[in-house]
C-alpha cells in the first residue's frame, strides 16, 4: 500500500482473509482427488467465489490511492515491480520443483513449454496452448490488464474523472451482461475481450469505494447488512456466473469500505503485517500443496492427515516465500521513483569506467 498521508492498515486483514480463503479452496479441489479427503466446505461460495473478488476490490481501492500520488508512467513502473519479479521468482522455484520430480512425471516436462506468453502474463485466450505452472495466473492476467487500464484513466484525469470512467465501464459491463450474457467470461482471457469480462467488476467497484472513502461512518449500519445481503444472495439464490460476480463484487466493495471506515489497526499488529506476505502466499501455495499431495499419493498415504499437512505446508511455506518476495520488492521499489535519465547517465559512466580499466589489459601481451 502506498501513500504518504494515510495507511489503511485494516486492508491488510482483508488480504490475509482472502489469501487463506484461496488456499482452502484449492485444498478442497485437490485433496479429494489425490488423497481421498473431501473438505467440501472449502468449495462453498465463501471460499470458492469470494476471495478473488475481494482481492480485486482491495486492489482497485489501493491502486486508486496509489494513482493519486504518482504520474501514470511511474505508477506503471511501480506495478511492474510489484507484480512481475515475485511472479518470475515463484515460476522459477516451481519449475525447479517440477524438474526435480516433486510433482508427477508429466509435470517434469512442462517447463520446456514455459515461454514469453507465460512470463509476460499476456491474455492469450482459452484456446492457446500455454502452460501456467502456478495455477493462479488467470487472476494475475486480469490484475496486469486492470492496472494498465487504471494508468490510462490517470492520463485522462484524476480524482472524480477516474471515478466517472470506472462507473462508465461498470455500466458497460452491465449492458453487456444483458445483451450478451456469458460473453468474455473465460478465466483465461483473450486480449480482445478482457475488457468486457465481469471479472473486472470488483476491481472497478474498489476504485469507486476509494472515491467515497471519506463518507460518514454512520453509513456503516447500512453498508454492513448490504454486503452481507449480497453474500447471502450469491450463496443461496440461483444466479448466472456474471450475476454471481456482480453480487460478490458488491459484497467485496462493501467489506473494503467498512475496513477503511472503521478505526485503523496499528501497523505493528502481527496479523496486519502478514498482509505484506500474502502476495507471495498467493503465488506459491498451489505448487507447495500439490507437492505434498502427490508425494502422499505415491506413498499410499490417504485421508485427512496428508490433507492437513498439505494445508500447513502451503500456508507456512507460502508465507515464508512471501517474506522473501517482500524483501526483493523492498530492494526494487526505489526504482519506481528513480529518474530514468539519471539512471542512464550512471549506467554510461559505469560502462566507461569498465571499458577504461579493461583497455590496458586488452593491450597487454
**Distance in angstroms (rounded) separating the CA atoms of residues 64 and 150:** 8
Segment 343-349 mean pLDDT:
62
- Is the pLDDT at 2 greater than 70? The verdict is no
The residue-averaged pLDDT of 5-28 equals 91
**Does the pLDDT value for residue 47 go beyond 90?**
no
pLDDT-derived band at 360 (thresholds 50, 70, 90) equals low
Whether the model clears a pTM of 0.85, i.e. scores above it, the answer is: yes
Residues 32 and 231 sit within 8 Å (Cβ to Cβ) = no
CA distances (Å), origin 205, targets 56, 250, 322? 9, 7, 27
Long-range contacts of 131-138 (CB under 8 A, 24+ apart): 133/91, 133/94, 133/95, 133/98, 133/287, 134/87, 134/90, 134/91, 134/94, 134/283, 134/284, 134/286, 134/287, 135/26, 135/286, 135/287, 135/290, 136/22, 136/282, 136/283, 136/286, 138/187, 138/188, 138/189
pLDDT at residue 7 in the model: 79
Q: What is the band of 4 on the pLDDT scale with cuts at 50, 70, 90? A: very low
Q: Return the bridge partners of 197, or none.
A: none
pLDDT over 80 at 347, yes or no:
no
Q: Are 127 and 191 in contact (CB under 8 A)?
A: no
Does 363 have pLDDT greater than 60?
no
Is pLDDT above 50 for 147? yes
**In whole angstroms, what is the distance from residue 138 CA to residue 143 CA?**
9
Q: How many angstroms separate the CA atoms of 314 and 292, rounded?
A: 9
**pLDDT of res. 365:** 41
Count of alpha carbons within 13 Å of 16, Cβ hemisphere only?
15
pLDDT (tens digit, 9 = 90+) per residue, 236-257? Answer: 888 888 999 999 999 999 999 9
pLDDT of residue 294: 94
Model pLDDT for residues 166-214, shown as the tens digit of each residue: 999 999 999 999 999 888 888 888 999 999 999 999 999 999 999 988 7
- What is residue 249's predicted lDDT score, i.e. its pLDDT? 95
Question: Mean pLDDT, the chain, as a whole number?
Answer: 89
Report CA 273 to chain centroid distance, whole Å.
17
Q: Which residues have C-beta within 8 Å of that of residue 35, sequence separation ≥ 6?
A: 293, 296, 297, 301, 302, 303, 306, 307, 310
Amino acid at each position: 500500500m502506498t501513500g504518504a498521508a494515510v495507511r489503511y492498515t485494516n486492508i491488510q486483514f482483508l488480504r490475509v482473509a482472502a489469501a487463506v480463503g484461496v488456499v482452502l479452496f484449492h485444498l478442497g479441489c485437490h485433496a479429494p482427488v489425490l488423497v481421498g479427503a473431501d473438505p467440501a466446505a472449502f468449495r462453498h461460495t465463501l471460499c470458492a467465489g469470494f476471495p478473488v473478488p475481494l482481492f480485486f476490490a482491495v486492489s482497485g481501492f489501493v491502486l486508486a490511492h496509489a494513482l493519486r500520488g504518482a504520474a501514470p508512467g511511474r505508477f506503471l513502473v511501480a506495478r511492474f515491480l510489484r507484480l512481475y519479479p515475485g511472479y518470475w521468482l515463484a515460476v522459477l522455484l516451481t519449475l525447479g520443483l517440477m524438474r526435480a520430480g516433486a510433482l508427477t512425471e508429466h509435470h517434469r516436462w512442462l517447463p520446456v513449454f514455459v515461454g514469453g506468453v507465460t512470463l509476460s502474463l499476456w491474455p492469450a485466450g482459452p484456446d492457446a496452448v500455454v502452460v501456467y505452472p502456478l495455477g493462479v495466473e488467470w487472476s494475475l492476467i486480469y490484475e496486469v490488464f486492470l492496472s494498465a487500464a487504471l494508468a490510462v484513466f490517470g492520463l485522462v484525469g484524476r480524482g472524480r474523472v477516474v471515478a466517472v470512467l470506472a462507473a462508465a465501464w461498470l455500466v458497460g459491463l452491465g449492458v453487456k451482461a444483458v445483451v450478451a450474457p456469458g460473453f468474455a467470461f473465460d478465466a483465461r482471457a483473450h486480449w480482445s475481450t478482457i475488457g468486457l469480462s465481469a471479472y473486472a467488476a470488483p476491481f472497478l467497484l474498489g476504485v469507486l469505494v476509494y472515491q467515497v472513502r471519506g463518507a460518514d461512518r454512520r453509513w456503516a449500519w447500512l453498508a454492513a447488512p448490504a454486503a452481507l445481503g449480497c453474500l447471502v444472495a450469491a450463496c443461496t439464490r440461483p444466479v448466472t456466473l456474471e450475476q454471481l460476480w456482480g453480487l460478490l463484487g458488491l459484497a467485496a466493495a462493501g467489506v473494503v469500505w467498512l475496513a477503511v471506515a472503521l478505526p485503523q489497526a496499528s501497523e505493528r499488529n502481527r496479523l496486519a503485517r502478514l498482509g505484506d506476505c500474502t502476495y507471495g502466499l498467493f503465488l506459491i501455495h498451489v505448487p507447495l500443496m500439490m507437492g505434498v499431495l502427490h508425494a502422499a499419493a505415491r506413498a499410499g498415504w490417504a485421508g485427512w492427515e496428508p490433507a492437513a499437512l498439505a494445508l500447513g505446508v502451503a500456508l507456512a511455506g507460502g508465507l515464508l516465500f512471501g517474506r522473501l518476495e517482500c524483501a526483493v520488492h523492498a530492494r526494487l521499489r526505489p526504482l519506481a521513483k528513480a529518474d530514468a535519465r539519471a539512471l542512464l547517465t550512471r549506467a554510461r559512466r559505469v560502462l566507461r569506467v569498465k571499458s577504461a580499466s579493461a583497455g590496458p589489459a586488452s593491450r597487454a601481451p
